[in-house]
Structure 1
Amino acid sequence: MKAPHAEIIDAHLHLPSPRNPWEHGEESFADLQTELLLAQLDAAGVDAAVLMSEAHCAPAARCRAAVARHPDRLATVLDYDEIAAGAAESSTAGPSAAEPGAAGLVARVAEQPGVLGLRLTTAWPPDNIERLRSGAYEDMLDAAETHGVPVCFLGPGHLPDLAAVARAHPSLPLVVDHFGLHQPPYMPADDPPWRDFGELLKLAELPNVSVKLSGAPTLSTAPYPYPDLRPPLERVLDAFGVDRCMWATDQHRVFGRLHGFPEVPRYPGYHSYAQGLHYLLDHVELSPSERTALFGGTARRVLGWTDRHRGTGATDGPATG
């Protein structure tokens, strides 16, 4: 009999796209994406995953639908700008008190089965970072703090801005995507790749900030198991502790398999899904409790993925567009 293992959760994935064009309808395409994703998880021995919505390659509605079909294995984090735009488009009466606004959107997200949090992206479009600095997201951040809705932050080069948010909202769970660094293939790595690493380590002083160890092999200049990653990874683990670090891959960006994006050629740091797990699972010394936390426990706790988020209804309601 196979020995039981600690649960493994990939804290950051998108819905994958098939290599060949799909001409059999939207509904079956959504089913295909979910089947590809689950097959990939099964092949690598990963139990569950958190889907990140993105308007162009993994819309919120499609992520919620996948979660509704497989609530025990999938959950989602929704891109805030996407759902806010969707709510605005769904309003037929123009701006009015009936529109949910940021506070209403966050409140509805907090109630939706399978929806764990929101994502704030300052990497694109370019004016998003100025919107953050000007206070355009304050209502959302206030509401997220009130309702205990975690906010994931994609903002390479903008970690000092995240530090300001963390200080202004000390009880708001904030999660740094991809170490806060530029990563291939869609963002060229910095020179050197870990140039802004010090800004990430400074965030360890803020107890409401966690970090996803996602996409790290894209920054390696060595073959698997990427020995040049061990020093920075050990520094992250030492600074934040495993109770604020979560394993993740963002593998469909790594593969260049995001729907609507062009395929990318192989590049230094390109790696398989299994390699994206085992370079860390098999080659970093961890105690059993640390392993349990890093590969699932921290994601469960920080993102609040509990039985409350399981069940049907993840596609109900117009608030998230």
Structure 2
Amino acid sequence: MDIVDSQVHLGPGGAAEMVAALDALGIAAALIDEYWVGTPGDPFYRLANGATRTTSPTAELAAWTYPGRFSYLVRVDPRDPELAAVIRLARDAAHVRALRVSPGMTRAEVADFAGGVYDEMFALAADNGLPVFVQIAGQAQLIERIVRKYPDSRIVICHCGMPPGGALAPIIAQMEGLPDSADYWRKVSEEPHAQAFARVLQTAEFPQVALKWAHAPVSFDAAGYPNLAARPYLRAAVDAFGANRVMWASDVSVNQTGESWAELLFAIADNPELSAEERAWVLGGTARRWLNWPA
């Protein structure tokens, strides 16, 4: 099976070790979201207006050094005064497959997303043929306005589209840093799973939207291989979106529930509730198609 991991973090260094792990697991390729976990947000530099512009030195070197094994995405800030140029450069780069935004990490960013601050970025992404990964953290209903306004857009909802799970909520609260953040994000994380996931499933009516199946163990209180409690939700996602609009990602670098990379993979590969064809799409085919990434 042609397996693609549609999100790993890498940097600085570590590509050789990751290739060895990919080989051991039978994973053909991985999409890098360069984000230095030890120094969150790096590598980036601050612009004069306060916006950030990321760089991807580890990811680019890995993609050139190990042809076919790595591609990467580019995180963008909608406030970048050179946003159009940044997106054109991403379009023209040999190994860039997509853009990524994370407006779901603070309430202010969610409000900006709903209020149109990100709209120009989606328009430019559509014009340049780049899909956009969106970490919207339980607010998947906000995607509808974007796809109706920009029907040529291609959006991949990150991390099952779910609110942060109980293990992630304190991290989000710390990042937001407001006096009521801990209480607010704890309450968000306690929303019933079925209720929150229903909003995600509603976006399946739009063919421009796909779902990245990542962090399911923490999102659905399904810790521990084979993540049995997440299976009904994956079945519902495949039924709603179709297997060719669901892509697996381990995001093993920041997995809050402790499963190994192999356990995250085989929780899907050995899932008897999916057909062999569905597993092939979820584990690689969808990423290849949506990211225009030839095997």
Return the alpha-carbon distance in structure 1 between the equivalents of residues 291 and 268 of structure 2. 21
Query: What's 1:13 paired with?
Result: 8
Question: Is 1:173 equivalent to 2:154 in the alignment?
Answer: yes
What does 1:150-299 correspond to in 2, within 5 Å? 150-181=131-162, 182-183=164-165, 185-187=167-169, 189-218=189-218, 219-221=220-222, 223-254=224-255, 269-299=257-287
Unaligned runs of 5+ in 2: 44-55, 171-188
Which segment drifts farther, 293-302 or 213-222?
213-222
Distance 1:194 1:41, change over 3 A: farther
- Deviation for aligned residue 1:280: 1.2
What are the superposed Cα offsets for residues 22-69 of structure 1, whole Å, 9 maximum, x if unpaired?
xxxxxxxx33x2123223222222111001133735632332222222
How many percent identity over aligned positions?
29
**Count of matched residue pairs:** 260
CA contact (8 A) 1:15 1:58 kept: no
CA distance in 2, matches of 1:104, 1:222: 42
CA contact (8 A) 2:165 2:221 kept: no
Structure 1 residues 187 and 39: CA distance shift in structure 2, 3 A: farther
What is the rounded CA distance, in whole Å, between the counterparts of 2:265 and 2:221 in structure 1?
Answer: 15
The residue aligned with 1:302 is 290
1:206-234 CA distances to partner (integer Å, 9 max, x unpaired)? 11000011111223346422222221110
The residue matched to 1:49 in structure 2 has which SS?
strand
> Is 1:80 matched with 2:76?
yes
Q: CA deviation at 1:193?
A: 4.2
Deviation readout 1:113-144 (Å, 9 max, x if unpaired): 11001001112354222322332222221111
Deviates more, 1:241-250 or 1:134-143: 134-143
Amino acid paired to 1:273: W
Q: 1:231 to 1:163 in 2, by over 3 A?
A: same
CA contact 2:250–2:264 (8 Å) conserved in 1: yes
For the Cα contact (< 8 Å) 1:254–1:271, is it kept in 2? Answer: yes
Higher-Rg member (1/2): 1
Structure 1 residues 132-143: aligned runs within 5 Å: 132-143=113-124
Counterparts in 2 of 1:190 and 1:54: CA distance versus 1, 3 Å = farther
Q: C-alpha separation between the residues in 1 aligned to 2:166 and 2:76?
A: 24
Output the aligned Cα RMSD.
Answer: 2.3
State which drifts further: 197-206 or 46-55: 46-55
Alpha-carbon distance in 1 for matches of 2:255, 2:203: 25
TM-score normalised to the size of structure 2? Answer: 0.80
AA at the equivalent of 2:262? A
Cα deviations by residue, 1:246-303 (Å, 9 ceiling, x for unpaired): 1111111106xxxxxxxxxxxxx43111110111110234444333221111101111
Distance 1:167 1:302 in 2: 19
